[in-house]
């Protein structure tokens, strides 16, 4: 570490630019950033906690000081706010006297400077890193301090809010180096360089990847930060998942519990070629003495194309045999419950307890297989939700995590808020005699025994709504927070399968990772639009997002779609992410603002303690090693899409990216040549970015774009989080 020959490093962070309530001049800048759009606009607080954390955990550790023009009497709420926003511990430097005459109107430059001068005098052997942004007094404050204290400032790190620019490092004569970037993720590489910090880490820990309890941001939940000793198995495609689910349901008996959450439920969907149907499998469990309880999203009105009628039929089928299924509309306007979960708890042998989490609901159209000819029941595509070929994924989990997933169901079941409140929901539900509340459910039973090598973290999205959700009164955005933390550690390969991809606010996180890590590849598999689909509002969001990641990563970004061997598009409904063959997720979330903030979502992040020793044994180079489950997940999915029978060509991230590029290009060329000759292996084709298909006119940007963001991809964050572009 280069500290100008001094023994100790100190970090001063001017936090007036990151507080939820900021001086008026800063609030104006935040409002401008809120409406500003464009593929180069990467301004946010993303990664600032990581910048301070890296410096605080350095060798030797740096002392952290938080500078503000707030008066001392506000020290306690300021400390609570910094702790809530996941900043490391440190000392407060309260430079203000008056809240209204000083801080509110952006005064306090002289008092901040005097505070810094006293700090320098009290610590004569400390070299300082000064961190702030260019929207307030920080440039003038830091430059003046460095000029008057030569040799005492190791670096100035400036988050850029005025204008949009790439990260840069500059020096002015004998002054300290100045590192500038639009967010913390892009600040970090330059700061590491000027301070002489190696891009290596200490012995890796679980909380390097997983959120800690405080980082979840929801102290009201009873979920644990994570559990260890779990067995996790991947079930790719609806046919594989349904087959296993039917077998597990058939083992239930008296005293057992079958609990499920869903976006939609089709009682007539067959779980196998010869049945049973969803209704039959659940009803048989109830007849055998198991307690069957479910929560399905009620859905919006049928006239808008939603599926309340199908959900009502499933409720009626199961009520007839004593099961309880509730239709739940406790959502934000235009929202939905999108969680997909089945939990089976056994009264006599907890070794058999199992849970299923992923992207697959109990619905028509989902029972496809690796051939991708579609669900045999849905070839007529009578319902707009039925897609012929469909690619999807689900997890089967055993071990202590089953209790946490049971807790997810239990928290929603015991929520005393009425299921529906609007008259056009209440009256039809009364007419159809739908239950208004469920009967008492006992708390989750103790953990099943440990049975595997995987640590699992249960992640969720809940919006802030009125009345507040008892177990998430301010909402929960742990899905977003987990991806932000994990992508901050990505070095070589991020592999994604997603239904939407993306919103600009989500793409900003991926773009920051691509700019921070110059060797990082992004391979994303998404659905192909139907040929007869014209321009639609969703294209505005995708255009902004895809342009952002393509600009950030260039040729390191590959976005692809899938077709079957008959050249029919395969609808990618999977929600999967694998980072550096270490950390991975499978769940119900999509990479859009709606999934990260507005709807209810459920995701499992997995960190396998078992290492995969095949080369490269440590793709990310941070000492984590390739983990068994994450690597198997990526390889299984890539083998299917690339038409491979072995793993050797795709073990190395760079080689895998090259194989994807070569095989997708070969298939595109074969189609361009009229399909003559032998079809090349694989099913991946380059996904034409939306911004190459659709001209983003002023009308689409200023009329269609806002409509897209309000209706199709709404934001469920509190206003303060939107203004800060944080989660």
Query: What pLDDT, in 10s, does the model give residues 318-368?
Result: 999 999 999 999 999 999 999 999 999 999 999 999 999 999 999 999 999
In this prediction, residues 631-640 reach a mean pLDDT of 98
Q: Decide: helix, strand or coil at residue 297.
A: strand
Token pair in block for residue 21: 């309530």
Q: Count the residues in the chain.
A: 727
Check residue 308 and give its pLDDT: 87
d(CA 36, CA 673): 43
pLDDT tens digit sequence for 98-152: 655 555 555 578 889 999 999 999 999 999 999 998 877 889 999 999 999 999 9
Top pLDDT among 701 and 665 is at: 665
pLDDT tier at 428, thresholds 50, 70, 90: confident
What Cα–Cα distance (Å) separates residue 695 from each residue in 369, 538, 592, 655, 689? 37, 13, 21, 35, 12
Measured in degrees and rounded to the nearest 5, phi and psi for residue 35 equal -95, -10
Check residue 30 and give its pLDDT: 57
In this prediction, residues 409-429 reach a mean pLDDT of 91
Token pair in block for residue 305: 């194309």
Token pair in block for residue 518: 């110059």
The sign of the CA dihedral 498, 502, 506, 509 is positive
Check residue 315 and give its pLDDT: 94
pLDDT tier at 2, thresholds 50, 70, 90: very low
d(CA 466, CA 455): 34
Q: Decide: helix, strand or coil at residue 438.
A: coil
Q: Report yes or no: 440 and 410 within 8 Å, Cβ to Cβ.
A: no
Exposure string for 542-567, b = 16+ CB within 10 A, e = fewer: bbbbbbbbbbbbeebbbbbbbbbeee
The DSSP letter of residue 265 is B
Check residue 109 and give its pLDDT: 83
pLDDT tier at 381, thresholds 50, 70, 90: very low
In terms of average pLDDT, the best of 46-50, 155-159, 534-538 is 155-159
Tell me the average pLDDT of the chain.
Answer: 88
d(CA 596, CA 252): 35
Beta partners for 398? Answer: 231
**Region of residue 621 (left: phi > 0; alpha: psi -120 to 50; beta: else):** left
Token pair in block for residue 262: 């869903």
Nearest residue to 60 via CA among 131, 8, 125, 124: 8
The fraction of the chain above a pLDDT of 90, given in percent, is 66
pTM of the predicted model as reported, rounded to 2 decimal places = 0.91
What Cα–Cα distance (Å) separates residue 102 from each residue in 111, 140, 402? 10, 17, 53
Number of Cα atoms under 13 Å in the Cβ half of residue 589: 34
Exposure string for 73-91, b = 16+ CB within 10 A, e = fewer: ebeeebeebbeebbbbebe
Check residue 4 and give its pLDDT: 44
Label residue 5 exposed, middle or buried (CB < 10 Å: 0-12, 13-18, 19+): exposed
The torsion of the CA quartet 577, 579, 581, 586, rounded to 10 degrees, works out to -20
Check residue 460 and give its pLDDT: 98
In this prediction, residues 540-552 reach a mean pLDDT of 84
In this prediction, residues 297-311 reach a mean pLDDT of 82
For residue 433, count other CB atoms closer than 10 A to its CB: 11
Top pLDDT among 1 and 662 is at: 662
d(CA 433, CA 144): 73
Token pair in block for residue 194: 């000027």
């Amino acid at each position: 570490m280069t500290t100008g020959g001094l023994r100790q490093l100190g970090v001063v962070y001017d936090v007036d630019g990151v507080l939820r309530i900021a001086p008026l001049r800063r609030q104006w800048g935040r409002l401008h950033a809120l409406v500003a759009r464009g593929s180069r606009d990467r301004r946010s607080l993303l990664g600032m906690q990581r910048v301070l954390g890296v410096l605080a955990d350095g060798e030797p550790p740096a002392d952290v000081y938080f500078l503000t023009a707030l008066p001392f009497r506000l020290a306690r709420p300021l400390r609570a706010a910094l702790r809530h926003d996941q900043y490391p511990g440190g000392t407060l430097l309260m430079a203000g006297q008056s809240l209204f005459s000083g801080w509110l109107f952006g005064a306090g430059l002289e008092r901040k400077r005097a505070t810094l001068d006293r700090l320098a005098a009290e610590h004569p052997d400390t070299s300082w890193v000064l961190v702030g942004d260019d929207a307030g007094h920080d440039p003038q404050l830091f430059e003046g301090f460095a000029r008057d204290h030569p040799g005492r400032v190791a670096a100035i790190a400036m988050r850029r809010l005025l204008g949009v620019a790439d990260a840069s490092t500059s020096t002015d004569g004998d002054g300290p180096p100045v590192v500038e970037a639009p967010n913390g993720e892009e600040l970090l590489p330059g700061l590491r360089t000027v301070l002489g910090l190696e891009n290596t880490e200490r012995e890796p820990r679980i909380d390097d990847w997983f959120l800690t309890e405080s980082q979840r941001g929801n102290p009201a939940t009873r979920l644990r930060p994570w559990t260890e000793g779990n067995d996790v198995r991947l079930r790719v495609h609806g046919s594989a998942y349904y087959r296993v689910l039917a077998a597990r349901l058939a083992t239930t008996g008296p005293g057992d519990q079958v609990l499920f959450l869903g976006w939609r439920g089709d009682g007539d969907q067959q779980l196998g070629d010869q049945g049973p149907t969803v209704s039959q499998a659940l009803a048989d469990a109830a007849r055998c003495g198991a307690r069957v309880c479910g929560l399905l999203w009620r859905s919006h009105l049928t006239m808008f194309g939603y599926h309340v009628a199908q959900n009502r039929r499933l409720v009626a089928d199961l009520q007839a045999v004593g099961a309880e299924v509730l239709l739940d509309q406790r959502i934000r306007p235009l929202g939905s419950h999108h969680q997909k979960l089945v939990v089976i708890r056994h009264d006599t042998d907890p070794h058999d307890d199992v849970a299923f989490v992923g992207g697959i609901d109990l619905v028509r159209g989902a029972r496809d297989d690796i051939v991708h000819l579609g669900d045999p029941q849905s070839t007529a595509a009578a319902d707009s939700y039925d897609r012929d070929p469909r690619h999807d994924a689900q997890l089967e989990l055993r071990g202590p995590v089953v209790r946490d997933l049971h807790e997810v169901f239990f928290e929603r079941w015991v929520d005393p808020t009425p299921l529906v409140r609007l008259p056009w929901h209440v009256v039809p539900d009364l007419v159809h005699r739908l239950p208004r509340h469920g009967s008492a459910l006992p708390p989750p039973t103790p953990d099943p025994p440990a049975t595997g090598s995987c640590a699992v973290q249960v992640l969720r999205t809940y919006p802030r709504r009125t009345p507040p959700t008892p177990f998430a009164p301010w909402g929960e955005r742990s899905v977003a927070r987990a991806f932000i933390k994990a992508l901050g550690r990505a070095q070589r390969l991020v592999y994604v399968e997603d239904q939407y991809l993306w919103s600009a606010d989500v793409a900003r996180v991926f773009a920051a990772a691509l700019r921070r890590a110059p060797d990082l590849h992004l391979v994303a598999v998404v659905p192909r639009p139907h040929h007869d689909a014209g321009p639609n509002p969703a294209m505005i969001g995708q255009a902004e997002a895809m342009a952002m990641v393509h600009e950030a990563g260039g040729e390191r970004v590959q976005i692809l779609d899938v077709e079957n061997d008959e050249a029919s598009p395969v609808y990618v409904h999977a929600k999967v992410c694998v980072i550096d063959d270490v950390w991975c997720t499978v769940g119900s979330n999509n990479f859009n603002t709606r999934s990260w903030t507005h709807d209810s979502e459920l995701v499992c992040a997995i960190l396998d303690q078992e290492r995969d020793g095949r080369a490269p044994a440590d793709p990310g180079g941070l000492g984590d090693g390739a983990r068994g489950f994450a690597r198997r997940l990526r390889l299984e999915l890539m083998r299917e899409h690339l038409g491979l029978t072995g793993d050797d060509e795709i073990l190395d991230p760079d080689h895998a990216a090259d194989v994807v590029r070569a095989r997708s290009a070969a298939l595109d060329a074969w189609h361009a040549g009229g399909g003559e000759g032998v079809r090349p292996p694989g099913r991946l084709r380059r996904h034409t970015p939306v911004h190459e298909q659709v001209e983003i006119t002023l009308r689409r940007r200023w009329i269609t774009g806002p409509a897209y963001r309000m209706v199709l991809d709404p934001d469920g964050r509190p206003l303060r989080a939107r203004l800060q572009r944080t989660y």
